[in-house]
Amino acid sequence: MSQADGLVASHPAERHDLGLDPGQTQWKSRLEALLGEGARAGADLVEVFLERTDHIGVLAEQDTITSVSPAFGMGAGIRVFKGHRDGFVSTNDLSDAGLLLALDQALAMLSLERNAAASLKAFEGLKPLRDFAIDKHQWLSQSPDLATSTALLLQGTNLLERHGKHLDVRRGSYSRDWQEVLVAASDGTFGHDIRLHQSSGLSVLAADGEHRASIGRRYGTTDRPDDLRNWDVESSAIEVCSSAAKMLYADYVDGGQMPVVLANRFGGVIFHEACGHLLETTQVERGTTPFADQVGEAIAHSAVTAIDEGLSAGAFGSISMDDEGMESERTVLIENGVLKRFLSDRAGEMRTGHARTGSGRRQSHGFAAASRMRNTYIAAGPHKPEDLISSIDKGLYCKSMGGGSVGATGQFNFSVEEGYLIENGQLGQPVKGATLIGEAKEVMPRISMCADDLDLAAGYCGSVSGSIFVTVGQPHIKVDSITVGGR
Amino acid sequence: MTTTPSTAASTPLNVHALRDQLHALAKRDGIQRWDLGASCSTNASVQVDRGEAKQMKASQRSSITVRVWNEAGLVGITSTSDLSQSGLEKALTGAKEASRFGNADDVPGFSPLATAPIPELDRPLQPAQGIQTLLTRLKAAEHDLLAHHKAIETVPYNGLSEGSSERIYLNSDGALRQMQRTQASLYLYARAEEAGRKPRSGGAVRVALGSQGLDVQGCVEEAAQRTISHLNYQAIDTGRYLICFTPEAFLDLLGAFSSLVNARAVLDGVSLSQVESLGTSVAVPFFSLHDNGLHPGHVGAAPFDGEGTPTQRLCLIHNGRLESFLHSEATARRFGVAPTGHAGLGAKVSVGPDWFEVGTSEGTSSGTTHLHHATTTEPFVLIESLNALHAGVKASQGSFSLPFDGWLVRGGERISVESATVAGDIREVLNGIVHLEADAKVTHQGVCPHVWVDGLAITGEA
């Protein structure tokens, strides 16, 4: 029986409840058969991404659990490359027939078809498995059960009540995302991994008459089953309540051009939006980055060194291998202001020539991988945070950031959740309603001081390959001038 | 064997078999009360880059959401992408497990309208053209767009897609809803740059029931005009301005603050409205707002919501007065009204708008009819689109601070605005509307005229 016959002949019933552990299933032979079919059809490369997921989301409001939402699933994404083009098909059907149908569709997109004997290049089979999941099979069962997570969230909303004032709404949320992946490609790539992400957060809406403030904090880690159990929920509640109390009566900021100091941790979103996305080969391909031809040139102030780290222990954006089966690495993007590397995935390497960096990431099997950030941060500098503030006569201190985005022209924006005026080198009154906008080429040279207190924060990043877990980070930094949108 | 990628409506879900299957499984597990929402879809899309195919995609997706009520009457829910017998069984088990943590204070029930007649929608299913045809059309569209101006060098964001989907709802009381639809979309966002100047961009979107029905030429023309019109940009002075929102921009803003009319948000305390807000004035007297999921221009229209409640046209604001909220079964029960057809499906059911219609209340007028975005000579800022709504809107506070694309218009001349934000409070916006133009535009998000608001703060670089 040929490999193809084997694929077609398998019973549809086997599509379900299949684990992806290649040590316990026949996935290797099934994948080799599939990849062989694609290679013989004339594809330059065929890649299969298999996924199994188990998610739980819990929400507590006031003193009640109001939502428990389990979800699970599995699926495959098949991508075929020919020249600089690629075709991608995703499906929930993991039967042999289902996978073959998806392969046929992907081939047809590139005007290829099976049994055409188009290629003399033989597929040499998969290499020995690189199994990053060896020690991870117990993670799901080691993660907190519903009783534990619901109890902790209720403890959190109770602590908010205890530490806060004028709180109309108190919320605690928790999500646990378990994902098992198996990646195989016709260049022999064969990798297996299990990822575990947990995220917990507290948020409040404080209201007093016409005054209102909504404040939230989210914490997240990867690969740590005990994360939620170790969560210092009281410190989190105190932090949220403290910020809400300060922001409740804050005035709206007056807009204009001014120097700003961005706090460490989630302040790192400025680099993520202003520059990080522009250093992905996806942007080089599109012609939407101003830095495309500037490797080796100064693109930022000499105070700036920026890194995209795949393996920061426990950090939300850490990955053992990327979603194309490549082991993760530490990538120095900018060193002392000089552009060193771009973040590249398989397609990015093929289309732009920038070598892969283990940065091919995707939300799920429904997306083709693309070059994406992992744990991205600006390195610590020599200053103390207070040095940055004291160097400013009149400006803005951004203690906590909201989300942001960057557009096709490289203009970025992000919102300030908790801000304070800086007057005569001192922190002044709290202000709200600020949005920072600018362009990377102009702003990166204006990051003139970095403090010595680098810290990371968990977040989610939405882009061409979906929403993924990332970390942003930085020490306190000073931007000499930026547009602050306000009233 | 070669399979040509196609999005032709796939074999319909066997809803009766699914119901019988679930009924048997539930009976076996002693579950008396349950409901289910399921969906299946196929989609194909293409992207191009300077005349070459860049990435082509297709997908087949399926999902089920099952809810069960346990012996104590509490609700649990589970979702899965596995529509097989074992997937269904696992989902049912998961839902039963989750029901132990159901909220006794707010138990969703079946919609009393889940078996009521549903409206007839005139949305004929359109045949798929196939991915190679999509590719050819998109290449031609990109070529046309690039030819419009020498400064337009790329169309970095583009896509042409077509797909079909099916959705069902059924419950243990005999409700059985099923619908199929097809949909296609095209988006083109060009990037232009002139020597010594910053890059600029502009774009347009079209949707239709099928890819054959897409207004490709109109999309190309609009994307080109918008991109070119932003080339001659200038910084704007910080200050307060007379603003004219395009229909798309105003619908975006309104959508970001839809918690104003969302009963779930009201009950949760995160809306600017309270239960007592019904009947009070929330906007200028000539302003009206409806939600009409049945509008003929709504390509993605569905005849029922996640709980099986029929879709309807609902008056939310009339003569500036708040008339109604959007409801699920649970929120409607709390308010003592009927569900409105705006629910999702969950342990805690979400509520959301479908298709806004903004207009002037019948028999009323702003009295400032001299304002028109094409002819007004006094200076104003025409806001074409708002960016980063996910970050710059504080819905529970009412405030927003958003980057925008637009023009400063003086004496009919449009000068593109460089790097600026607009900020304000949605309550001030609704009460500061000075005029709604007569001609409402059907967009892919809703129906709305150009909306004029006075005195909003703009921060620029000048």
For residues A362 and B59, what is the distance between their CA atoms, to the nearest angstrom?
Answer: 15
Buried b (16+ CB within 10 A) or exposed e, B197-212: ebbbbbbbbbbbbbbe
Distance from CA of A382 to the nearest CA of B (A): 31
For residues B353 and B187, what is the distance between their CA atoms, to the nearest angstrom?
Answer: 23
Do residues B368 and B434 make contact, with C-beta atoms less than 8 angstroms apart?
Answer: yes
Please calculate the CA angle A334-A340-A343 and round it to the nearest 5 degrees: 90
Which pLDDT tens digit goes with each residue over B387-421? Answer: 999 999 999 999 999 999 999 999 989 999 998 99
Predicted local confidence at residue A19, as pLDDT: 77
Chain A residues lying within 8 Å of B397, measured CB to CB? 212-214
Across chain A, which distance is largest between two alpha carbons, in Å? 81
pLDDT at A2 over 50: no
> Which residue of chain A has the CA closest to B62?
A92
Which among B53, B269, B387 has the least Cβ separation from residue A205? B269
pLDDT at B362 over 90: no
Which among A70, A114, A150 has the least Cβ separation from residue B78? A70
Q: Do B86 and A16 touch (CB under 8 A)?
A: yes
> Which residue of chain B has the CA closest to A65?
B103
Tokens of B294: 């049945």
pLDDT at B6 over 50: no
Predicted local confidence at residue A20, as pLDDT: 87
> Which residue of chain B has the CA closest to A75?
B81
> Which residue of chain A has the CA closest to B394?
A214
Which pLDDT tens digit goes with each residue over A296-315? Answer: 999 999 999 999 999 999 99
B200-208 and B321-322: which strand pairing? unpaired
Top residue of B56, B153, B331 to mutate, by most chain A CBs within 10 Å, is: B56
Which pLDDT tens digit goes with each residue over B414-424? Answer: 999 998 999 99
Top residue of A257, A413, A416 to mutate, by most chain B CBs within 10 Å, is: A413
**What's at B6, amino acid-wise?**
S
Q: Do A483 and B131 touch (CB under 8 A)?
A: no
Length of chain A: 487
* Number of Cβ within a 10 Å radius of residue B30: 9
Which among A212, A288, A408 has the least Cβ separation from residue B397? A212
pLDDT at A18 over 70: no
Q: Do A15 and B84 touch (CB under 8 A)?
A: yes
For residues B391 and B399, what is the distance between their CA atoms, to the nearest angstrom?
Answer: 11
Which pLDDT tens digit goes with each residue over B254-270? Answer: 999 999 999 999 999 99
Give the residue among B266, B352, B339, B269 at the shortest CA–CA distance from B109.
Answer: B339
Predicted local confidence at residue A25, as pLDDT: 76
Chain A residues lying within 8 Å of B271, measured CB to CB? none
- Percentage of the residues of chain A whose pLDDT score is greater than 70: 95
Predicted local confidence at residue A117, as pLDDT: 65
> Which residue of chain A has the CA closest to B1?
A114
For residues B405 and A333, what is the distance between their CA atoms, to the nearest angstrom?
Answer: 31
Distance from CA of B120 to the nearest CA of A (A): 32
Chain A residues lying within 8 Å of B62, measured CB to CB? 92
Query: B11 CB near a chain A CB, below 8 Å?
Result: no
Confidence band, pLDDT 50/70/90 cuts, at residue A432:
very high
Q: Do B397 and A150 touch (CB under 8 A)?
A: no
Helix residue spans in B205-298 (DSSP H)? 216-229, 247-256, 263-268
Predicted local confidence at residue A281, as pLDDT: 97
Q: In what order do the strands lie in the sheet with B321-322?
A: B321-322, B313-318, B287-292, B356-360, B446-448, B441-442
Give the residue among A296, A308, A284 at the shortest CA–CA distance from A410.
Answer: A284
Chain B residues lying within 8 Å of A437, measured CB to CB? 403, 419-421
Chain B residues lying within 8 Å of A86, measured CB to CB? 55-56
Which pLDDT tens digit goes with each residue over A334-357? Answer: 999 999 999 999 999 999 999 999
Q: Do A87 and B398 touch (CB under 8 A)?
A: no
Which pLDDT tens digit goes with each residue over B79-125? Answer: 999 888 888 899 999 999 999 999 999 999 999 999 999 999 999 99
Q: Do B1 and A16 touch (CB under 8 A)?
A: no
pLDDT at B461 over 90: no
Q: Do B348 and A408 touch (CB under 8 A)?
A: no
Q: How many Cβ contacts (< 8 angstroms) between chains A and B?
A: 251
For residues B162 and B142, what is the distance between their CA atoms, to the nearest angstrom?
Answer: 18
A3 phi/psi in degrees, rounded to 5? -60, -40
Chain B residues lying within 8 Å of A66, measured CB to CB? 103, 106, 347-348
Which among B153, B346, B423 has the least Cβ separation from residue A69? B346
Predicted local confidence at residue A245, as pLDDT: 97
Which among B2, B102, B189 has the least Cβ separation from residue A104? B2
Which among A74, A104, A403 has the least Cβ separation from residue B1? A104
Please calculate the CA angle A321-A323-A329 and round it to the nearest 5 degrees: 35
> Which residue of chain A has the CA closest to B67?
A69
- Percentage of the residues of chain B whose pLDDT score is greater than 90: 90
Chain A residues lying within 8 Å of B94, measured CB to CB? 70, 72
Please calculate the CA angle B132-B137-B142 and round it to the nearest 5 degrees: 125
Sign, CA dihedral B75-B76-B78-B83, equals: negative
Distances (CA, A) of A231 to A61, A185, A205, B114: 19, 39, 22, 43
Which among A146, A169, A255 has the least Cβ separation from residue B459? A255
Which among B82, B270, B398 has the least Cβ separation from residue A73? B82
Q: Do A114 and B52 touch (CB under 8 A)?
A: no
Which pLDDT tens digit goes with each residue over B221-243? Answer: 999 999 999 999 999 999 999 99
| Three-class secondary structure of residue B47 per DSSP | strand
Predicted local confidence at residue B372, as pLDDT: 96
Which pLDDT tens digit goes with each residue over B27-72? Answer: 999 999 999 999 999 999 999 999 999 889 999 999 999 999 999 9
Chain B residues lying within 8 Å of A407, measured CB to CB? 201, 387
Which among A88, A213, A486 has the least Cβ separation from residue B57? A88
Chain A residues lying within 8 Å of B60, measured CB to CB? 90-93, 102
pLDDT, mean over chain A: 92
- What is the pLDDT averaged over residues A80-106? 94
Which pLDDT tens digit goes with each residue over A21-52? Answer: 887 778 999 999 999 999 999 999 999 999 99
Interface of B with A in 110-139 (CB under 8 A): 131
Interface of B with A in 135-174 (CB under 8 A): 153-154, 156-157
A64-82 and B75-80: which strand pairing? parallel
Query: B217 CB near a chain A CB, below 8 Å?
Result: no
Which among B52, B79, B81 has the least Cβ separation from residue A92? B81
Which among B78, B157, B238 has the least Cβ separation from residue A71? B78
Chain A residues lying within 8 Å of B388, measured CB to CB? 403-405, 413-415, 435
Give the residue among A85, A132, A472, A76 at the shortest CA–CA distance from A274.
Answer: A472
Q: Do A146 and B54 touch (CB under 8 A)?
A: no
Which pLDDT tens digit goes with each residue over A366-384? Answer: 999 999 999 999 999 999 9
A447-450 and B33-49: which strand pairing? unpaired
Sign, CA dihedral A276-A277-A281-A284, equals: negative
| Three-class secondary structure of residue B197 per DSSP | coil
More confident position, A404 or B194: B194
For residues B460 and A72, what is the distance between their CA atoms, to the nearest angstrom?
Answer: 47
Q: Do A255 and B238 touch (CB under 8 A)?
A: yes
- Percentage of the residues of chain A whose pLDDT score is greater than 90: 87
Predicted local confidence at residue A113, as pLDDT: 93
Q: What 8-state DSSP symbol labels residue A446? A: G
- What is the pLDDT averaged over residues B163-191? 97
For residues A1 and A5, what is the distance between their CA atoms, to the nearest angstrom?
Answer: 6
| Percent helix, strand and coil across chain B, each to the nearest 5 | 20, 40, 40
Predicted local confidence at residue A408, as pLDDT: 79
Query: B268 CB near a chain A CB, below 8 Å?
Result: yes
- What is the pLDDT averaged over residues A62-87? 95
Q: Do B387 and A64 touch (CB under 8 A)?
A: no
Tokens of A372: 């994406």
* Number of Cβ within a 10 Å radius of residue A165: 11
Query: B269 CB near a chain A CB, below 8 Å?
Result: yes
